[in-house]
């Protein structure tokens, strides 16, 4: 049975690890977002890594043991006081990936424990169908997706693009 795990990697080795895992046929997800960097003489499109030193892998127990032997992979994310890797629920990963793939604006990631907001569903724009929580930070509305043990991915959104939902989001 495959499940999502978060693996810590050496600083600045995220893309190399991603490429190596793909060559091995291991399903993985490196949260990156394209952005344009401005220098004095030019602009360049670059990939910004959203969570430095971390890559997500969807593996079974055999692949889990094989991957950790890669010299650039340091360890798996574990819960405090436990020795087994923390499993990230598939629905949280799906919502996170959907947000990154479809957002028109920059997504940020925070390890802060944000206070739960109202449960909402996006009804307009490129994030239509995404469910999360609506919060207000620094006077701006944002939709957040919680990822257990890590924090929250968030993106700015107009309140007119969301509707309340009675559905309770499952963070277990």
Instruction: Considering only residues 139 and 99, tell me which one the structure prediction assigns the higher pLDDT.
Output: 99
Confidence of residue 138 (pLDDT cuts 50, 70, 90): confident
pLDDT in tens, 158-168: 888 888 887 55
pLDDT exceeds 50 at position 172:
no
CA proximity to 9, closest of 64, 66, 77:
77
Q: Residue 140 is part of a domain; what is its CATH number?
A: 2.30.30.30
pLDDT exceeds 90 at position 139:
no
pLDDT in tens, 7-65: 999 999 999 999 999 999 999 999 999 888 888 898 888 889 999 999 999 999 999 99
State how far the Cα of 96 lies from the Cα of 130, in Å rounded to an integer.
9
Judge whether 172 lies within some domain: no
The domain in which residue 26 lies consists of 3-88
pLDDT exceeds 80 at position 76:
yes
What's the pLDDT score for residue 37? 85
Q: Domain end: 59, 88, 117, which one?
A: 88
Judge whether 169 lies within some domain: no
What's the pLDDT score for residue 30? 96
Same domain, 154 and 111: yes
Q: For residue 124, give the 3-state DSSP assignment.
A: coil
- The domain tally of the chain equals 2
Judge whether 171 lies within some domain: no
- 134's CB contacts (< 8 A; 6+ apart) are 117, 118, 120, 141, 142, 143, 157, 159, 162
Same domain, 105 and 150: yes
Same domain, 121 and 80: no
Q: Quick one: what percent of the chain has pLDDT higher than 90? A: 49
Q: Residue 44 is part of a domain; what is its CATH number?
A: 3.30.70.940
Please report where in the chains the tokens 């949260």 appear, as a residue. 31
Q: Domain end: 88, 115, 149, which one?
A: 88
Judge whether 116 lies within some domain: yes
Judge whether 30 lies within some domain: yes
Buried residues in 59-74 as b, exposed as e (16+ CB within 10 A): beeebbeebbebebbe
What's the pLDDT score for residue 165? 82
Q: For residue 154, give the 3-state DSSP assignment.
A: strand
Same domain, 83 and 145: no
Same domain, 24 and 75: yes
């Amino acid at each position: 049975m495959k499940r999502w795990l978060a693996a810590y990697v050496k600083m600045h080795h995220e893309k190399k690890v991603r490429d190596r895992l793909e060559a091995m046929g291991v399903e993985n997800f490196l949260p990156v977002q394209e952005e344009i960097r401005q220098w004095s003489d030019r602009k360049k499109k670059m990939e910004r890594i959203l969570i430095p030193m971390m890559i997500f892998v969807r593996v079974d127990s055999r692949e889990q043991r094989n991957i950790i032997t890669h010299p650039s992979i340091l360890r798996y994310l574990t819960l405090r006081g436990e020795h087994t890797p923390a499993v990230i629920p598939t629905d949280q990963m799906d919502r996170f990936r959907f947000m990154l793939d479809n957002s028109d604006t920059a997504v940020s990631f925070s390890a802060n424990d944000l206070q739960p907001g109202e449960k909402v569903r996006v009804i307009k724009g490129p994030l239509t169908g995404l469910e999360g929580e609506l919060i207000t930070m620094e006077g701006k509305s944002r939709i957040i997706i919680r990822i257990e043990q890590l924090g929250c991915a968030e993106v700015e959104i107009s309140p007119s693009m969301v509707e309340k939902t009675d559905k309770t989001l499952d963070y277990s």
